Structure 1
Amino acid sequence: MISKRNIDHNRIPSDNELPERPYGDNNKRSTPSLHKELEHFLKHALLELHQAKHINTHQPFQWHKAALTHHTFIYMHRFTGTLNANGEPSRIMRKSACLFTPGTSLELVSEADHETEVYIIEYDLFRAIEKTEARRIYERELHSPVTGLIQGPFYGIQRITAQITELAQSDHEAASRDIKAQLLLTDLLHMLWPEDNKSAAAEENQNNPEAWLKTTLQYMQQHYMHEIKLDTLAELAGMHPSYYSQLFKSRMQKNPIEYITHLRMNRAKEMLLTSDLRIRDIAREVGYRDEFYFSRRFRNFAGYAPTAYAKQVHRNIVSLSYPYTDHLMTLGITPCAAQIQGHLPHMPSSLKLPFHAYEPWEQGRQAFLDVHPELILTKDNAAAKAMEHIGDVAPIITIPWNETDVFGHLERISSIVDRTRAAKNWLDGHERKAERARKKIKELAGSLTVAVGTLTAKGPRMYSHRNFGHVFYRTLQLAPPPLIQAELHGKAPGVGYNWMPFTPGEWHGLEADVLVLAIDNMHNRATLMQKLKNDPLWSSHPAVRNGRVHLVDWSAWVVYAPYSINIQLEEALSMLTSRPVLL
């Protein structure tokens, strides 16, 4: 229980309350002390999100605060210009992030003719000054162990800042939003503090013979856009430079300098394929001041000039995400290796990859080196692990999963692999199939409402018009039950709302003419049905009374992608036009 908070949001701290270290002076203290200080700093703390903004503009951009009233984190995903903190200017030319405390004078000014994409997150921090069994008293905290510019990892920072911004603009219930914001802000702060320094790395290397490799790989992946010397890497590894270089090559099939070059060139390829940045800006983003020198290096590495690379057709593709494997097959491209799930017209070489971000990465590098990929395609939840394990092997193109629906995924992937006509052909053919199916259902079954849910290891869920519900609600245009209809009101199709948990038997608001339940073990179908029948509330559902309950295989419906959706459409048509069967 929080009994009171000593909070004055309008009070600006005096000079003697500001951190002693000047802006940008993050490296003058040892990292282990910083890491311990962070743990102590966040212990018994509350973080409150004040506001979060996402600015994306092609116009000149200027943002100024004479004195910050909140802790302010800024992630500059695309920004070329000047950051001025307390009168100290810093030139920004690539992805950057910074964190400042209340009272700081801060200004961002972009240069003309450059796209700007910036996230600005303002939050307050409260520390427990009294903690007993009876009460908690929190006081506003104006200090931060680290301020100024932050060094990566930007792929993680971007993911969390985007989630925070989306949450701030959502219509979640206030208590739920505050809890989620607290968790996300805590994750962000942990990401901003470095976890290891050279002495800590050396100690870890003694306990784990392979830790030196992970330590130096992470350093290169986070700092490839800067000058990296072999001596620095060797010192991190606790080895002599010559021995470190030899050992690195024996593990990675390339020496450290080659590895860094591959990282830089693959990141450049990604930007050439997915952005409208000029060559000179891409060169600077990956660490080359001279765009002409960069162009020569790129041509030697890729075989094409940077201006010609994006026009090439890339066919040797690895898919790290099974929905995108389906998309590629739909577009007529069989990946050279891929994560596989569900039905496919052909079976590419299968990769053992995590299905979720929290699962371990098991696949070895050699499997990727053997197939010589020109392109690696992934969802955003696997992007960080892909960068960690194979960032030097090929450019990694991330197609955000929740940002758009299956049609948006298809459009983005088809534009990257130069198959926009194939995508249009599929869309046209799918709509013709859908129109025929809608007509047949109308003739044989009339207007139907359908409730679509799952009974799997993840728990009972009721779906809306994305993933499992797509075919029923978007393709066949059937009506969902009242509770789902209410949740969908005012939300964009396919992205605004996905699923909700439910308790089997508690059907209020989930009534429908047809009930479709996906299960993850069809062999247990009879056992599950008997269990459901024993629930006295089961027979109260209209679909149960009318014999319109269908159990389907979750593995056949989990893939939210074009080829699988066509198969799902055929199965849906069959079940919806079949004769009722009392269970």
Structure 2
Amino acid sequence: MTLQSIPPIHREEQRPLELDRLTARLCDIEIVTGSSGFQLDQQLTIPHALIVLLHGEGVLTRADGACNMCMDTVYVCPPESTFGMTGGTSGEFSAAVIRFHLYQESSRSRKRMQAVRPEGLLPEGEGIYIAPAGRLHALCRSMKEHSCSSDALVRWRAQLDCQELLYELLAAARRQPEDNTRHSLERAKAYMEAHSGEEITIDRLAAIAELSPKYFVDLFKKTYGVSALDHLTHLRIHKAKQLMLRSDLLLREIAHEVGYGDEFYFSRKFRKVVGLSPTAFIKKRRHRIVVYGSASLIGYLLPLGVVPYAAPLHPKWSGYYYDQLGADIPIHLDAYRQNHYKGSNLDKLASAQPELIICPPDLDEWEKDRLADTAAEIYEMPGDGMGWRKKLLAVAALLGEEAEAERWIAAYERKAELARGHIGPLAGRDTVLTLRLLKNQFYVHCSLSMSEVLYDGLGLRSPFADKGAPFDHRITLAELDAIRADHILLLICKESETLEGWSKLQQSPEWLSLQAVRENKVRLITSEPWREYSPIALVRMLDIAQELFSGNRP
């Protein structure tokens, strides 16, 4: 019986989970390293993944939010979920990413294993501490060293390391100590979130954490990167925004509801945090405009100064909007793989009572019917063939913001002209090839947004200028080498199989022998914003491209 031949997903009905019949298969272990400010973009993991901080400081971002990573702690990412990491500002950063599948004996035959995704078996919260200190670090290093061996017996040892780590994780979760300092802080943090509208003092929070007030203040700031009182203010202002947009409460009632007895003090706090007075915020957000089906549509509203009432948000598939607008959009639609959970998103909108829903043109008929029952007006965005300028003007006409759209387009043209000046003689001379790597296959991948920025905006040339740049056209390494482009922009799909293949490819003689690689002409780009076609994405791409081609890059 071999585990390698078993597919990750098996359609056989899963038998009740029995730990003593469970086994794990290590897929790979990756050591991610970087210097101060290092960032690992959001990526999709198909198998289970464990994240372990090995050195330095960092923040882990998963679909359910972000947390500061602690040493000697395991963080769990379930299958088909996303994660990203950001290093701290003080020195080097490294973390282990361990991917594995779980298997159990088939209910039909003990000679056959089936893949399982046991709900609730692996704790997915803030992380599980593994004692003693240093044990987890040593286990990860051992697993990595064994997995890279040329000896099959030693590589098998890495599989045992993985099993051992899982055992220690489950055992630690079962006996999670109540007096653990991190969990003491979590109790205080949870209390703040549940009672943010009440009077809360540092003495009260320190007592909940069973720490001295001074130690609590210092430890909270060190652990979460923000003071306890600033975190409380953030919770209150966020709740105030929700109440302003979702209720008819008076301003003084909202102030009292979120924990401020003085309406005027609340207004000063709100203006300091948000940059607008409460009255101006409510006026600016008076219309309930919803984006459905594609997060890229948000990129047509922001140039007009419009923040949607509901929109698809996810740290991977709409990371920029998730970071910039997460606290300002009251209703977050699920953006996993853009619009994977359509039914639940439509249910959320049914109770939101939107005035206008903006959606892409390719929805299923049943979705359109549900949307028509939900909102007073539905606007189906034209296809990308119309061009982003005309699309922006069309949305502006719908919202009465034509003048704002014209100003924005003029500002974009000025920005593109300045960017062409910054890259100097490259404009009109150098060729740029855009590629995408998915699984183990390279594609010539030139989207509308890439063409708009690189060729129309900056005046660079495509190696396929006479024929028009192809989109998602397969290409071999030999064909790639023969093109002799002056610059290559490579987009690596952020999912586990592709990333594993890319890690191996970078060390291969075939890749290292490419002229573009030898001459350092290959630059990595990310799916976001380079695959999005919207005004906001194009401006962001102009900034990135200017850094890439002007020589002002690290």
TM-score of Structure 1 vs Structure 2, range by shorter chain: 0.3 to 0.5
What is the TM-score of this pair, normalised by structure 1? 0.40
> Quick check: which has more Rg, 1 or 2?
1
